[in-house]
Amino acid sequence: MKDKLLVTSSPQFHHPQSTASIMWTVSLCLLPAGVWGIYIFGMRALLVTLTAIVASVGTEALLGLINKDKTIFDGSAFLTGLLIGYNMPPAVPLYVIVFASVFAITVAKWTFGGLGANWMNPALAGRVFVFFSWTSGMTRWTLPHPGSADVITGPTPLGSIKSGLMTMADTITGPMDLLAAEGVPVSYMDLFLGRIPGSIGEVSALLLILGGLFLLIRKIANWEIVASYLGSFVLLVWVFGGFRYGQGLFSGDVLFQLFSGGLMLGVFFMATDMVTSPLTSKGMLVYGVGCGFMTYLLRFFGSVPEGVSLAIIFMNIFVPLINRAFQPDKFGKLIEEEAK
């Protein structure tokens, strides 16, 4: 035998954070963005969020009872319901939320073996399922009306851009000009703080960033995914984003794209899902760049205004392939036997 295998003890460490503590920590980090959504959209937003949570947790409890597996207290179903509620318009019909929650827990999670075995984010799966099944109900956007009982509907900034591009005047030089021309002027501060129409939990970029930074500090979210996702998306928007307004290279409006739609919610709280993202640092970088590229592609060339949910699900599909391409180094090493 020319070579022999050097066997060493496994460098295995017990991580102090349990699955339940991670799930509840992520939920707490999402809480401020949801409170803001309820403040600007009214109590209907609270009803939508609670419906999603109750439907998700109830489905989890029923399936756990059938399979004799107690998973209801690990917080995963609560987090899935919370994310589904955050991805809903305030005026969405309640039965749509129930269908989204049941689909997420039953099809996207339990069909593949439950928590840890699902190949795509359950909340995103539920959201995309009902979006294409009940599109009209999923696009009933509400204008912010803090303190007022009157509810007025209106398009999201990304929706206004998508429709306004078809009749855009030659004098328009960017998305902010186009929004003003469409009669829905907003400022960058409106976008950053969340004083815009949108899904309940996605409108406040500020609160989502703060919650996401806490997850990065606690190492619950991986910086590789966040940095590569945002970096690739910002680069593509900056370089090519001005073409749709008749501008040249390096003239895209980065701030508008960053703070519009569900980008911050997707980057910090769904693309970084531990179960559906790659295992290694190199794999995470590739995965994040893919998410950024697909988000740019869908937002600028797709038929729907938003592209974050589909982009993350699309890259979830490639995670097994990425893991095989960027496998971690094997522990132990081969040493040559000394020549006798």
Query: Is 1 inside any structural domain?
Result: no
Q: Which 3-state string (H, E, C) describes 162-227? A: HHHHHHCCCCCCCHHHHHHHCCCCCCHHHHHHCCCCCCCCCCCHHHHHHHHHHHHHCCCCCHHHHH
308, two tokens: 């974050």
Query: Is 334 inside any structural domain?
Result: no
Q: What pLDDT is stored for residue 140 in this prediction?
A: 85
* Distance from C-alpha of 214 to C-alpha of 67, rounded to nearest angstrom: 35
Query: Is 2 inside any structural domain?
Result: no
Query: Is 47 inside any structural domain?
Result: yes
The tally of domains found in the chain comes to 2
Domain co-membership, 120 together with 28: yes
Domain that holds residue 25: 20-139
Q: What pLDDT is stored for residue 1 in this prediction?
A: 46
Buried b or exposed e, range 65-80, using 16+ CB within 10 angstroms: eeeeeebbebbbbbbb
Domain co-membership, 217 together with 123: no
Domain co-membership, 171 together with 320: yes
Contact yes or no for 204/193 (Cβ under 8 A): yes
Q: What pLDDT is stored for residue 184 in this prediction?
A: 83
Q: What pLDDT is stored for residue 149 in this prediction?
A: 59
Domain co-membership, 208 together with 264: yes
- Residue-level pLDDT, tens digit, the chain, 340 residues: 455 555 555 556 666 778 899 999 999 999 999 999 999 999 999 999 999 999 999 999 999 999 888 888 999 999 999 999 999 999 999 999 999 999 999 999 999 988 888 889 999 999 999 999 999 999 888 888 876 656 666 789 998 898 888 888 878 899 999 999 988 889 999 999 999 999 999 999 999 999 999 999 999 999 999 999 999 999 999 999 999 999 999 999 999 999 999 999 999 999 999 999 999 999 999 999 999 999 999 999 998 888 999 999 999 999 999 999 998 776 666 666 555 5
Domain co-membership, 301 together with 233: yes
38, two tokens: 């309820």
Domain co-membership, 262 together with 188: yes
Domain co-membership, 127 together with 191: no
107, two tokens: 């099809």
Query: Is 174 inside any structural domain?
Result: yes
Q: What pLDDT is stored for residue 7 in this prediction?
A: 56
Query: Is 333 inside any structural domain?
Result: no
